[in-house]
Amino acid sequence: MIPLINLKKQFISIQEEILADISQVIESGSYILGPKGEELEKQIAARVGTTEAIAVANGTDALVLTLEALGIGEGDEVITSPFTFFATAEAITRTGATPVFVDVDSATFNIKADTIADKITPATKAIIPVHLFGQPADMDAIMTTASKHGLKVIEDACQAFGAQYKEREVGGIGDAACFSFFPTKNLGTIGDGGIITTSDEALASEIRKLRVHGSNSKYYHEKSGYNSRLDEIHAAILLICLKYIDQWNSQRRLAASRYDNQLAQLKGIETPFKKADRMHTYHLYSLKVHNRDKAVSYLANAQIGSGVYYPCCLHLQEAYQDLGYQQGDFPIAEQLSESLLAIPMHPFLTEEEQNEVIAAIKGMDDIL
């Protein structure tokens, strides 16, 4: 069996370093909001080019706390993509605000920047572009639209740690950016975690307050907040992973180029499109497949893992029935939800394994 991802291989490769640092954390007596977390915040801010980074409990909280700290809530609208993981929109609805969807580009799967302006109303407060599967969204056009209309831009960079837009690392382009350290993410830990990057000091200080019960000084609470902190153990593990992330991302890119070379000419499938001015981190490598259901069962029979991201667009989710969207509202996102199929992609995928995957896909010819 060739799995879609292989987290065990990744963490076993650094197991000794992890165990040593976990022992160090245990012996330090500092378990939450300590020096490891501070060091992680410092290193990530320096990397993405912001003055601040605030580590939190997970990527969803990173989005919720950022929106709330920006004062976004009931009566406000936030523009985002209907083709992303649910948490992007869930964070908006969690604050009481309303997600307003804009269809995506069929080649990059990212929000169509030139149609955002059509959806801006007096209630619009922010745009959340998602760097889907590791390819940065069209940030120049998005930032221009946002500044013209006085909107904040929050990058959902959960799938794109290390990706670059015109040689600038994601996370430092919008007013703020949110990352997830869920195990499967390019930079992940063996549990949950997240971080917000921003150069807006007032925003950062508001987020720091929200993550500890709305408190700046112990047992005095300015407002109701959250318990959303990153454990020292996870900060320690992430500091180790940070040393390897560029190598891991380039191993993903190498694997992607092998797939591109071998699969691009096949009929019935399309390899992912990469914009020339971006560095893609291939969180996922998703093919467009004309007959996806057949392809899924064919690959399963051939003992090759695959995955569907995402089978149901956000505007069609049961949770959002009250938003009043219908099938057909975002035709490109809907089409992608029916045709994308992710094939094995991770930094430890070997060339031999890839050859097996490629051979199996070549053998699918007659079913597509």
- Summarize as ranges the residues that interact with ligand PLP (CB under 6 A): 58-60, 84-85, 87-88, 130, 156, 158-159, 180, 182, 192, 194
Q: How far is the CB of 130 from ligand PLP (least distance, A)?
A: 5
Q: Which of 60, 36, 41 is nearest to 226 (CA)?
A: 60
Q: What's the CA angle centered on 263, arms 344 and 253, to 5 degrees?
A: 55
Q: Residue 154 phi/psi, 5° resolution?
A: -115, 115
Q: How far is the CB of 152 from ligand PLP (least distance, A)?
A: 17
Task: Report in angstroms the alpha-carbon separations of 330 from 134, 265, 314, 336.
Answer: 22, 29, 10, 10
Task: Report in angstroms the alpha-carbon separations of 239 from 37, 41, 187.
Answer: 9, 10, 10
Instruction: Please tell me the distance from the alpha carbon of residue 18 to that of residue 119, in angstroms, as a whole number.
Output: 47
Q: How far is the CB of 57 from ligand PLP (least distance, A)?
A: 8
Nearer to ligand PLP, 88 or 306 (CB): 88
Q: Backbone dihedral region of 71: left (phi > 0), alpha (psi from -120 to 50 degrees) or beta? A: left
Nearer to ligand PLP, 110 or 180 (CB): 180
Nearer to ligand PLP, 210 or 269 (CB): 210
Chain residue whose CB lies nearest ligand PLP:
59
Task: Report in angstroms the alpha-carbon separations of 158 from 100, 176, 184, 187, 263.
Answer: 20, 12, 10, 9, 27
> Which amino acid appears at position 182 of this protein?
F
Catalytic residue ranges = 185
Q: How far is the CB of 189 from ligand PLP (least distance, A)?
A: 10
Residues 6+ apart with CB under 8 A from 112: 102, 103, 104, 105, 332
Nearer to ligand PLP, 85 or 298 (CB): 85
Nearer to ligand PLP, 83 or 298 (CB): 83
Q: How far is the CB of 362 from ligand PLP (least distance, A)?
A: 30
Tell me which H or E stretch contains 164: strand 164-165
Nearer to ligand PLP, 231 or 304 (CB): 231
Instruction: Please tell me the distance from the alpha carbon of residue 49 to that of residue 6, in angstroms, as a whole number.
Output: 30
Q: How far is the CB of 156 from ligand PLP (least distance, A)?
A: 5
Q: How far is the CB of 63 from ligand PLP (least distance, A)?
A: 6
Burial per residue of 155-166, b for 16 or more beta-carbon CB atoms within 10 angstroms, e otherwise: bbbbbbbbbbbe
Tell me which H or E stretch contains 298: helix 292-301
Q: Are 175 and 198 in contact, with CB atoms under 8 Å apart?
A: yes
**Widest pairwise Cα distance in the chain:** 68
Instruction: Please tell me the distance from the alpha carbon of residue 255 to that of residue 137, in angstroms, as a whole number.
Output: 22
Nearer to ligand PLP, 153 or 360 (CB): 153
Number of H helices and number of E strands within the chain?
A: 11, 15
